[in-house]
Amino acid sequence: MRRLFVLISLLMLYAAPAFAGINIVATLPWIGSAAKEIGKDKINVTVLIKPGQDAHAIEAKPSMILAARKADIIMYDGLDLEIGYLPLIIESSKNPKLIPGRPGNFDCSQFIAALDKPTTVDRSMGDVHPLGNPHYHFSTSRVLRVAEGITRLLADADRGNAGYYEANYKAFAERLHEKEKQWRAVPLQGKKFIAYHKYFEYLSAEYGFRIIGYIEPKPGIPPSAGHIEGLIETMKKEKPDAILVTPAYGMKEAESLSAKTGVKIIALPHDVGSMSGTDDLISFWNKVITSLK
């Protein structure tokens, strides 16, 4: 047994491969995509959460801890979205660059004004985020601010390439402005939708449509029969244009609601890469906005 122990211990030790460029760990796919727009080939990006996964229920897997161990910068959504696993990842990574207060600890929400900030919070309201709705990646203007913050972060960390990062930011902003002219032409003003989760609040604020009801009675709490009945009543009165749902979250409930009310379902990606043709931020927003027509 003692010999086996030593043998297994030795087997686990072998040389570490070398990395070039700034190592960035991003919790969510959209953050990784934003970093990639600015850093391109000068950075290595590891995204912890797979596009198909739901950011609310993630465990600190050892592979995530290892990625953080090798990182120069960890970028996260903030507003307590990652509170369940990020503190553990940062502490277990044993990487002093990532502790709060250091430049390597990059909270993307520091650049944005959050919506839905509740004045009083307790958990009887479900999994409410006291700092506001954390799904601000549906807001192009907010993500652009984050991208600008990333530009400054990278320019500080790698001064030799500061001009390169700034040029990438400008190119990204210009591409986004061009696309936004098309998106602004999509008639979404005054449309009414039902949604499963509070994902689309930022989009509704920017494009002037309304979310008149939620399939989830409270964030993270699955619906009861009584709640669904009430929702059907609302839908009969208000006649919403569609039910908005993401493939990872609540598809079954949305389908049954659609069958009962005849209101169509619009499936939207919840993050970059979670549906086909949404491989970067701009194609993700494009898919979301054009799907809402």
Of residues 76 through 115, those in contact with other proteins by CB under 8 A are 78-80, 83-85, 87-88, 90-96, 99-101, 107, 109-114
Among residues 222 and 277, whose Cβ is nearest to other proteins? 222
SS3 289: helix
User: Cβ of residue 84: shortest distance to other proteins, in angstroms?
Assistant: 5
Among residues 170 and 293, whose Cβ is nearest to other proteins? 170
Which of 21, 42, 46, 70 lies at the binding interface for other proteins (CB under 8 A)?
70
Among residues 197 and 287, whose Cβ is nearest to other proteins? 197
User: Cβ of residue 9: shortest distance to other proteins, in angstroms?
Assistant: 5
- Residue 264 C-beta-side C-alpha neighbours within 13 Å: 7
Report the distance separating Cα 83 and Cα 8, nearest Å: 34
If one asks whether residue 5 binds other proteins (CB under 8 A), the answer comes out as yes
Which of 21, 42, 46, 66 lies at the binding interface for other proteins (CB under 8 A)?
66
User: Cβ of residue 236: shortest distance to other proteins, in angstroms?
Assistant: 28
Count the Cβ atoms, other than its own, within 10 Å of residue 117.
Answer: 13
User: Cβ of residue 62: shortest distance to other proteins, in angstroms?
Assistant: 3
| Sequence-separated (6 or more) residues with CB below 8 Å from residue 137 | 28, 30, 31, 77, 143, 271, 281
User: Cβ of residue 240: shortest distance to other proteins, in angstroms?
Assistant: 25
Report the distance separating Cα 166 and Cα 156, nearest Å: 11
Among residues 76 and 263, whose Cβ is nearest to other proteins? 76
**C-alpha 292 chain-centroid distance:** 19
If one asks whether residue 14 binds other proteins (CB under 8 A), the answer comes out as yes
DSSP secondary structure string for all residues of 233-250: HHHHHH--SEEEEBTTBS
Q: Phi/psi at 20 (nearest 5 deg)?
A: -115, 150
Which has the closest alpha carbon to 143: 170, 166, 112, 184? 112
Q: Segment 138-167, which members bind other proteins (CB under 8 A)?
A: 140-141, 144-145, 148-149, 152
User: Cβ of residue 171: shortest distance to other proteins, in angstroms?
Assistant: 13
As a dihedral over the C-alpha atoms of residue 279, residue 60, residue 245, residue 29, rounded to 10 degrees, the angle is: -20
Of the candidate spans 3-11, 228-236, 254-262, 278-286, the one that interacts with other proteins by CB under 8 A turns out to be 3-11
Q: Segment 204-263, which members bind other proteins (CB under 8 A)?
A: 206, 220-222, 248-249
Among residues 54 and 158, whose Cβ is nearest to other proteins? 54
Among residues 136 and 235, whose Cβ is nearest to other proteins? 136
Which of 28, 154, 176, 211 lies at the binding interface for other proteins (CB under 8 A)?
176
Look at the chain and count its residues. Answer: 293
- Are 64 and 26 in contact by the 8 Å Cβ rule? The answer is no
SS3 35: helix
SS3 265: strand
Interface pattern 44-63 for other proteins (x via CB under 8 A): ------x--xx-xxxxxxxx
Q: Phi/psi at 48 (nearest 5 deg)?
A: -75, -40
Among residues 111 and 214, whose Cβ is nearest to other proteins? 111
Among residues 101 and 226, whose Cβ is nearest to other proteins? 101
Report the distance separating Cα 25 and Cα 46, nearest Å: 5
